[in-house]
Chain A
Amino acid sequence: MIPSWLPFFEWCEATGLGQLVRTSTWLFPVIESVHLLGLCALGGTVLIVDLRMLGAGLTKQPLDALAAAVHPWLKASVALMVSTGFLLFMSEAVKCFHNPSFWVKMATLPLAILFTFTVRKRVAARPGLDTSLLTRVTATASLLLWFTVAAAGRWIGFSS
């Protein structure tokens, strides 16, 4: 039999951190709210550049300058999402283990982060008013990846 990851998830939930968030009345909702504010910030920072790459939104702005200006805010948004998401996960790790949406999110989230900070970062470093096919395909892939992460994340709360 393939060893299950379940003991690890049980351990996560049993840690002091997991129990702290789990047993508190306010902590989970407060962290969840911050997670949602992070979603707004991440959505804005991703969309403003992806729209530009698709030839929409701030179309008159050189891509490299816009992407570079947004990048620190993108990094901060991802950091906020991952850290609050980690705390939420620790408090209900066993529920997550049995939740298909959680696994969809865990499969697509590393992909989205990796793609954003490698391929998309390089393509978004193109100067001028570039909206070549490669640029548009990259933006579409970015939107699809992040949409899947977000939709699966929301669905974790429904599919239990």
Chain B
Amino acid sequence: MSIRAVLEWLAATQWSVALHESLYVWPFLESIHVLCLTLFVGTAVMLDLRLLGVAMTHVPASAFTRRLLPWTRAGFAIMAVTGVLLFTATPLTYYHSLFFRIKLILLAVAGFNVWFFHARTHHRIGDWDSAVRPPTAARVAAVVSLVAWAGVVIAGRLVAYNWFECDLQPQPAFVNWAESCILPPP
């Protein structure tokens, strides 16, 4: 069974149709999703600025990873749950959306960066905890984090725009390929 077939089934469920057509539930979920950017990306950015050595350099880096990261994780959890729920409202639209696909790729990059930082860089934090300028590996992780999460936010916002929608042909061949558009036979 292809991914698209599963999403076709999902889109036909009562849940999906109800959420899609709801007057308030969808905007409510979307609002939580957006407002949680402050908690999730906001606190992540604070850690990144510290890792770059450009802000709050008097605070040990470990204070951020021990005391602030739980809030970052909570923010991510809420964003993930609301994000998945929002996806189920119009799964096929997202499946064929160029910006949504870009967002997923950037999410993977950001996720890998989080994993790499915690698996490799973070366990030696004792060596550079109070350093105003953390080591290169930590600063690179901070830059990748800032760029990737900013990209996720921008791509996420642009999902709402239908410039590249499969239904609005003609589209450049690259777009049709990148979105897996199903084109009528010529």
A interface residues, Cβ below 8 angstroms from B:
25, 29, 32-33, 36-37, 39-48, 51, 56-61, 65-66, 69-70, 73, 147, 150-151, 154-155, 158
Contacts and interface: CB of A to CB of B under 8 A. Distances in A.
Contacts of B44: 44
B35 A69 contact: no
Contact of A57 (B35, B55, B67, B157): B67
Given A36-B153, A154-B31, A43 B63 contact: no
Secondary structure dominating the interface of A? helix
Interface string B24-60: 0001001100110111011111100100000111110
B59 A29 contact: no
A65 B42 contact: no
B158 A33 contact: yes
A37 B71 CA distance: 19
B42 A36 contact: no
B67 A44 contact: no
B163 interface: yes
Contacts of A147: 35
Interface of B: 27, 30-31, 34-35, 37-39, 41-46, 49, 55-59, 63-64, 67-68, 71, 149-150, 153-154, 157-158, 161, 163
A8 to B, nearest CB: 29
Contacts of A66: 56, 59
Contacts of A40: 37-38, 41-42, 45, 149-150, 153
Contacts of A61: 59, 63
Nearest to A41: B45
Contacts of A51: 68, 71
Contact of B43 (A25, A48, A154): A48
A10 B157 CA distance: 27
A144 to B, nearest CB: 13
Contacts of B27: 155, 158
Contacts of B45: 40-41, 44
Given A43-B39, A44-B43, A48-B43, 15 more contacts: A33-B158, A40-B45, A41-B42, A44-B42, A44-B44, A44-B45, A48-B46, A51-B71, A66-B59, A69-B59, A70-B56, A150-B38, A154-B34, A158-B27, A158-B31
A36 B30 CA distance: 14
